[in-house]
Structure 1
Amino acid sequence: MTHPANTVIKNPTWWRRRTHLERSLLVLFVVSTVIAAALFVSLAVLNFGNHSQFPTHEELRNPEQGLVAGGGSGNAVSGRSVEDEICFDAGCIHTASMILQNLDNTTEPCDDFYQFACGQFRKKFIPDDKTGLSMFSVISDELQEQLRMIVNSPIEKTDIQPILNAKNMYKLCMNESHIEEVGAEPVKQLLKKMGGWPVIEGDSWDMGSFSWLNTVYNYRKEGFSVDYLIDFAVSTDSKNNSARVIELDQAAIAVARDYMIKGLDHPRVKAYFEYMIDIAELFGANRKVATEELRKSLDFEIALANISLPTEERRDPEKLYNRMTIEEMQIKFPTIPWFEYFRQILPPKIEFTIAEPVVVGVPTFISALENLLQQTEKRVVANYMFWRAAASTVSYLPEAFRKKQLKYITAVTGSTEREARWKECSSQAARTVSLATGSLYVQKFFKENAKKKALELVENIREEMYAIIETVDWMDEDTRKAALEKAYAMTAHIAYPDELLDNQKLIDFYAGLEVNSDGTYIDAIYNTTKWGQEYNYGRLREPVNKTDWRSHGRPQIVNAFYSPTENSIQFPAGILQGAFFSEDRPNYMNYGAIGFVIGHEITHGFDDQGRTFDKEGNLRDWWHESTKEKYIEKAKCIIEQYGNYTDSQVKMNLNGINTQGENIADNGGIKEAYRAYVKWVSKNGPEKRLPGLQNYTPQQMFWMSAATTWCSTYRDETLKNRITTGVHSPAEFRVRGPLSNMEDFSKDFNCPSGSPMNPVKKCTVW
């Protein structure tokens, strides 16, 4: 559902925020505890449907832990009353409602646990403005509403400049009539100032004055990307992470390499080409001329894709670390004036010599690019570069441009509408000053106690990673010791850094950035982009602080991260809610959900890429050769397992190589979370069950919670793209894969050996 721009979003009452099912549960409970048994029966019917389909559920209980004694309806548990064993707190009812709404009782857990846990969710209607729905998107939508409250609130005297910037950016973005009035002329004039887009300028374009290098330099001055031919970044030095270094990589092309190399034979490339022509025509080009000229530019971009390294060959960090000085670069790649190139891109305050180190990701790409540029007409290169610059402005232009963009988006994602304008504008405003909006977000919406609880979960789950490292039988002792040291050294960033609440720090950080409410939207975008480039490139001489609050100060994100160069894990406030976490529900739900995520991020430190960094976060080979070989063999099992999965919706096989890091993290993460929960129960005793789900043990609910976090449904085109280019397996395989490798899962659900969720061959790295 979308809201008109002038709608005031109010906080609904607690009761109005409950779903119909939750209200029904509450009413039934309040009526009388005397009819609690009837409530259980009705909920059980809702939950199980035809209960005869689950004849073994009674056998699945774990009487030795005192959770269930006796059979029948399950109302007599451990000889205690029903109310003693069932949790009727608001959080429990809300959680039960969520699980029940997603559950597919017609599927046996041991046949397809993802369908069992998420079958009803998969039937959800995908709104026309979305590429799919997931538990992540559900929380993101709520968070977006909260961000809107921040950036759309009236300006107050107490607002610091960064917050004024966000509010002004939101207003500029929402002022569609002014955007239409300004039109595309400012962009056209800026393109002309930077040398001109040949397809628009026609015969008046001056080929003699064109230089791709000067175009890059002009883009840098005006706030456009400098990455269209060579990707440029200032990053932490992977082999000396106390310092920063210039990094160059292959070009950031507009369409994924896997598609681009297939040319116009692929529908995505065909749609992209049509989009190029559409936008050029709106900027003033003749359509026939644009078709002819931009076809050559498309061929140039296809050539860039062909000289790029495939994703499968970019998984080894060592392979992408090729350190050389500017002087050495000049010898190796002689046609590009490297000292001048860096001088023009880096801020004037940065001093350097020809001895400055540079890390080149793919040297073969630079060499091939030199040849490609020499063999390609200047007009073709210019049309490509100016097309990319023009395309980057479309989202900020009048509706005629945005309609053509939507046409392209529809072709490649399947979504047929844009998201509501307020959503787009609140996101843009929040990105403009993400630290400042993040500060207000945690002050207004984050439950502070969640931070302490999440830290407890992190520590408990990390202990299980220690135990796994200590007990795996394929590691030599020296490598084991180093792995343990790395695990112990891993730092955790939970929710947000305390410095984020210091207004003066925010003011100092955003010094020099000002978004004026009486300006134009496109100018505001240019200014913020230039400010961002100046900040990022200007950090080259800044010492690396692995706990820098600025690097961990974006709490309004529904995600989690592992940094190999920091050897740190990060769980922003945005993910500590919803299906992932709540303080007022049983721990089996939290360990299964956010615990799975926590274990996943911890294990990233020991996946196929993370394992190549030591405890300090430096890229270094600290593995004994024999242990490394055993690790690679175990990872190969994961690669083959996932590579043999076929997504039934789009009839595509997964890429086991590209997804191996995430799959290793999923498999290790769920194991760590489960063991941590079992240990928690051994110390604290069994927990109450959920209403309507009382026939499931807490251990079974752990697995259901883990699966629920991945409930999703996507459009075909979006799913195809994720499988083709993504590093994550589709959601169902993030459940089926790890759980089918877990003996504990099969034991808890009594899955027969050889059943789909309990295959004889299992893959385990950690």
Structure 2
Amino acid sequence: MMSETTEDRFIALSVEAAAKTKSSSPKHLTVIIRKEDSGCHVFCRRFFMCILLLAVVFLTSIIYGIYYFANTLPDVCHSKECLRSAATLKQNMNLQVDPCEDFYGYVCGNWADDHPRPENRIANSWYQERQLKIFRNIRSQLERNASRTDPKPVAQARTMYQACLNYDAREKEGAKVIAKYLQEFGLPTLPTLLNHTRFGPRRYKFDWIATVARIQRKLGLNVLIGFDIVMDQEDRNRNRLTLEYHYSPDLLNFPAYEWSKLHSKGYRSSVEPVEEEEEPEDEDDNDADDGPDAAELADGFLKIAEAINPGFNGSKYEASFMTLGETYMDFFNQLPGRKADNADDSDDQEEEQLSYYTVQELQNITDAYIAPDKPYPIWQHYLDELFAPFPGAKPTAQDKLQMSDENIDFLKKLVRVVSRQPIQVVELYIWGLVTTYIVSHEYNELETEEDCAKNVQTLMGLAVSYAIADKNFLEGTKPRVEAMLNDIRDEFNQMVLETNWMDAYTKYATLEKSKSMESLIGFPEWILDVRKLEEHYQGLQIKKNRHLENWVSAIEFLMKDRLQTWRVKNEKYWDMDPTEVNAFNVQNRNAINIPVAIIQYPFYFLGLEALNYGALGEILGHELTHGFDDSGRNYDKYGYEKRWWSNHTLQEYDKRADCLVKQYSKYYLAEAKGFINGTRTLGENIADNGGIREAFRAYRAYVKRNGPEPMLPGFDDFSHEQLFFISFGNQNCEVVSPAGAAAILQDEHSPSKFRVKGVLSNMAEFSEVFQCAPGRPMNPEKKCRVW
């Protein structure tokens, strides 16, 4: 028998009680029964609550975990700029190369696969590709139909471009227009020496001085006498005139193969177009850069004569043209200041000494040199003719020319040579230069749309800049680039303070120059003002289907502006073309010029500041450092060339610079079979080494202010500082032909792969970031550093 439970007894008592109480028995019984049900309900509810609590805890844990991992895993940048940068870098890099062995090969090892060198170019690089992109953009703008809303200069630029492409009209107008210009210059269409028996030496009159002045005024071409307008080195608020060595290319400075192409294109109906790949043979051929011989000159002159004299049969005068070629070469070889005579690979020259002379004082100097008793008036006559249309701007007797000792010496020797030559020979020399210059431009049917766009951009650069300018640049991009430059300047200043080889006075003067350095970024803001742009080009005449006339008109317009305004006080001066993919330091103005064309991918807009500072940031630092390289250090904060460093600091500077000279002189460029000239490239190497340090420090300061950046897609294993150096290396990627390699050895810039190697092997920070052990090629024990 089962024992009676407490619950059974409780129920029995309740039933009994209910029987005794009629009125309440049903209700009471019901309540007692519900009491039993209530216990089950409480249990279920409590069970449910426990399950719910566990679920909440579980979900909270999941949410917390998601939050935790979302905030501890690196963020990834998925902007289009980041995706493009990631794809580009991945394509260019060769991860099979050890970055501590050859960082250039590591970053640029596959670059040539997607960026082959065009057959008509000796090299290809990011800079050249971006410049071509700019020209294509210019071409696209110039090919648009004219709009009523276009400023007049933009419409004129489009007219000039269309005339350049009209080869039939160019050939039709050519001979007549060229003859007109030769007459204006005072030159015949055929050299007088072709029929010299008609004119004896005493009977023939030719004013060569007036002729070269007119050519300068109308074509901007230096012939025999070089002319320029320069900033006064004693007062930067004014300009000075100078007469100097003529820097225009001479016919005998053309490589022989260029001469052949030039004159083949000069007379288009006589030959088939010449392929551009006709480069000189292997770089071992030392004669590849020699100019044409007498026979080639004779052939070129004959074809020019036929091109500008319809009906002229040059075959009847072949012997006479051979004599012309020989005479030209003989005269050229007597001229002073030939490039070959002045070449100095050591570049170890004293600072140029500048002096001031009135025109009469210069005349006395040259007269005394050639024959004191036989004056040879030249300089006043030259300037009178040059400024003839602008009497208000004509130099006075009190105006002094700013001259270097080197140019004084050149002018003395020039006058002596010219004064001893038959005047017909001088005429031949001028005729040969000018006709070649004009004919090669007018009859060049191999010019492409890009060539024509480039011509327009050269002559009407500000109008073209207006057409392609991003109107949001001034408010968006420019302030960010200025902020980057300020960061870099701050780091340079800090590096100066940290130096232990500069005395206090020189440090202070250096900091003052850095703070005073002007920055011109993008383009002049006023070109976006249509009224000001049209005022700037007021007076320029451009005609439909008149290519040569437009070309000369535009040059004459530019020269007119220079000659008329040479006395105007120097204000903010944009010594650059906004559409050029480059950057400059104008040392005699203490200014950095950063054209808008270089503020583009792959130098900027890269998605991450690590990449931006590694590319454009290094460029900005490079240009700033040029103000303190082996040349820039000679200019003070006002741009005056003077000695402003102490002797002790100069000695210490030279010691450190000599380390760079020796370092880079050991680099051997196998493609050109030669070593780099460490002296010639010193200024650029100083700027490279200083610029990368400043940019790297500036990026670290940026991260300290703003916190870490997102990761680059596909580069999870790379730190941002590694990406900084990869971006720097990427902007230097290029591919060159053997001829290009030989040319690079003569350049003031080191070859790209050695720019990368030289700079990074001098940076301990690079070796730390990529964990390069001491003694590896990219982490040598001996490092060079100026800044």
What TM-score results when the alignment is normalised by the length of structure 1? 0.81
Instruction: State the partner residue of 2:225.
Output: 230
Q: Percent identity?
A: 27
**Distance 1:687-1:394 versus aligned 2 partners, 3 A rule:** farther
Provide the C-alpha distance between the structure 2 equivalents of 1:523 and 1:456, rounded to a whole number of angstroms: 45
8 A Cα contact 2:363 2:377, kept in partner: yes
Q: How does 1:501-520 map to 2 (within 5 A)?
A: 501-518=528-545, 520=546
**Distance 1:137-1:220 versus aligned 2 partners, 3 A rule:** closer
Q: Deviations over 1:577-611 (max 9, x none)?
A: 111000x6111100000000000010011111111
Provide the C-alpha distance between the structure 2 equivalents of 1:255 and 1:160, rounded to a whole number of angstroms: 38
Q: CA deviation at 1:681?
A: 1.6
The reply to whether residue 370 of structure 1 matches residue 392 of structure 2 is no
Q: Deviations over 1:434-473 (max 9, x none)?
A: 1122122114695852212111111101101111111111
Q: CA deviation at 1:291?
A: 4.0
Q: CA deviation at 1:225?
A: 3.6
Q: CA deviation at 1:504?
A: 1.2
Name the SS of the counterpart of 2:230 in structure 1: strand
**Distance 1:629-1:275 versus aligned 2 partners, 3 A rule:** farther
User: Which residue, out of 583, 588, 600, partners 1:560?
Assistant: 583
Instruction: State the partner residue of 2:393.
Output: 350
Q: How does 1:711-722 map to 2 (within 5 A)?
A: 711-722=733-744
**Distance 1:383-1:265 versus aligned 2 partners, 3 A rule:** farther
The reply to whether residue 685 of structure 1 matches residue 713 of structure 2 is no
Provide the C-alpha distance between the structure 2 equivalents of 1:272 and 1:474, rounded to a whole number of angstroms: 55
**Distance 1:85-1:523 versus aligned 2 partners, 3 A rule:** same
**Distance 1:576-1:211 versus aligned 2 partners, 3 A rule:** same
Provide the C-alpha distance between the structure 1 equivalents of 2:541 and 2:248, rounded to a whole number of angstroms: 31
Q: Deviations over 1:327-347 (max 9, x none)?
A: 321222224522222222234
Provide the C-alpha distance between the structure 2 equivalents of 1:85 and 1:242, rounded to a whole number of angstroms: 53
Provide the C-alpha distance between the structure 2 equivalents of 1:377 and 1:751, rounded to a whole number of angstroms: 70
Provide the C-alpha distance between the structure 2 equivalents of 1:502 and 1:663, rounded to a whole number of angstroms: 40
**Distance 1:479-1:675 versus aligned 2 partners, 3 A rule:** same
Instruction: State the partner residue of 1:390.
Output: 435
8 A Cα contact 2:216 2:222, kept in partner: no
The reply to whether residue 536 of structure 1 matches residue 562 of structure 2 is yes
8 A Cα contact 2:518 2:592, kept in partner: yes
Instruction: State the partner residue of 1:579.
Output: 602
> Aligned partner of 1:747: which letter?
E
Q: CA deviation at 1:128?
A: 2.4
User: Which residue, out of 326, 333, 358, partners 1:325?
Assistant: 358
**Distance 1:722-1:336 versus aligned 2 partners, 3 A rule:** farther
Instruction: State the partner residue of 1:46.
Output: none
Name the SS of the counterpart of 2:723 in structure 1: helix
Q: Unaligned regions of 5+ residues in structure 2, if any?
A: 1-67, 260-284, 306-313, 368-375
Q: How does 1:431-450 map to 2 (within 5 A)?
A: 431-443=458-470, 448-450=475-477
Q: Unaligned regions of 5+ residues in structure 1, if any?
A: 1-77, 403-417
Name the SS of the counterpart of 1:267 in structure 2: coil
What is the root-mean-square deviation of aligned Cα atoms in Å? 2.9
Number of residue equivalences:
664
The reply to whether residue 114 of structure 1 matches residue 110 of structure 2 is no
**Distance 1:345-1:251 versus aligned 2 partners, 3 A rule:** same
Provide the C-alpha distance between the structure 2 equivalents of 1:588 and 1:687, rounded to a whole number of angstroms: 8
8 A Cα contact 2:583 2:598, kept in partner: yes
8 A Cα contact 2:193 2:324, kept in partner: no
Higher deviation after alignment, 592-601 or 285-294: 285-294
Q: Deviations over 1:246-284 (max 9, x none)?
A: 1222221526999999x9973222458776445322223
The reply to whether residue 160 of structure 1 matches residue 151 of structure 2 is yes
Instruction: State the partner residue of 1:381.
Output: 426
Provide the C-alpha distance between the structure 2 equivalents of 1:311 and 1:240, rounded to a whole number of angstroms: 31
8 A Cα contact 1:565 1:617, kept in partner: yes
Q: How does 1:306-321 map to 2 (within 5 A)?
A: 306=338, 309-310=342-343, 318-321=351-354
Q: Deviations over 1:151-193 (max 9, x none)?
A: 1111111222211220110110011121122243432453355
8 A Cα contact 2:193 2:428, kept in partner: no
> Aligned partner of 2:691: which letter?
G
8 A Cα contact 2:506 2:645, kept in partner: yes
Q: Deviations over 1:120-162 (max 9, x none)?
A: 1235422223332111122112211221122111111122221
Q: CA deviation at 1:561?
A: 1.3
**Distance 1:278-1:699 versus aligned 2 partners, 3 A rule:** farther
8 A Cα contact 2:130 2:581, kept in partner: yes
Name the SS of the counterpart of 2:290 in structure 1: helix
8 A Cα contact 2:662 2:678, kept in partner: yes
Instruction: State the partner residue of 1:84.
Output: 74
Instruction: State the partner residue of 1:96.
Output: 86
Q: How does 1:335-484 map to 2 (within 5 A)?
A: 335-346=376-387, 347-361=390-404, 362=406, 363-399=408-444, 421-443=448-470, 448-484=475-511
Q: CA deviation at 1:652?
A: 2.2
Provide the C-alpha distance between the structure 2 equivalents of 1:257 and 1:665, rounded to a whole number of angstroms: 34
Provide the C-alpha distance between the structure 2 equivalents of 1:113 and 1:295, rounded to a whole number of angstroms: 53
**Distance 1:475-1:503 versus aligned 2 partners, 3 A rule:** same
The reply to whether residue 751 of structure 1 matches residue 742 of structure 2 is no
8 A Cα contact 1:493 1:552, kept in partner: no
8 A Cα contact 1:634 1:764, kept in partner: yes
The reply to whether residue 495 of structure 1 matches residue 522 of structure 2 is yes
Provide the C-alpha distance between the structure 2 equivalents of 1:758 and 1:298, rounded to a whole number of angstroms: 53
The reply to whether residue 219 of structure 1 matches residue 235 of structure 2 is no
Provide the C-alpha distance between the structure 2 equivalents of 1:196 and 1:256, rounded to a whole number of angstroms: 19
**Distance 1:81-1:289 versus aligned 2 partners, 3 A rule:** farther
8 A Cα contact 1:659 1:727, kept in partner: yes
8 A Cα contact 2:170 2:442, kept in partner: yes
Higher deviation after alignment, 209-218 or 499-508: 209-218
Name the SS of the counterpart of 1:606 in structure 2: coil
8 A Cα contact 1:663 1:729, kept in partner: yes
Instruction: State the partner residue of 2:34.
Output: none
**Distance 1:446-1:651 versus aligned 2 partners, 3 A rule:** farther
Instruction: State the partner residue of 1:25.
Output: none
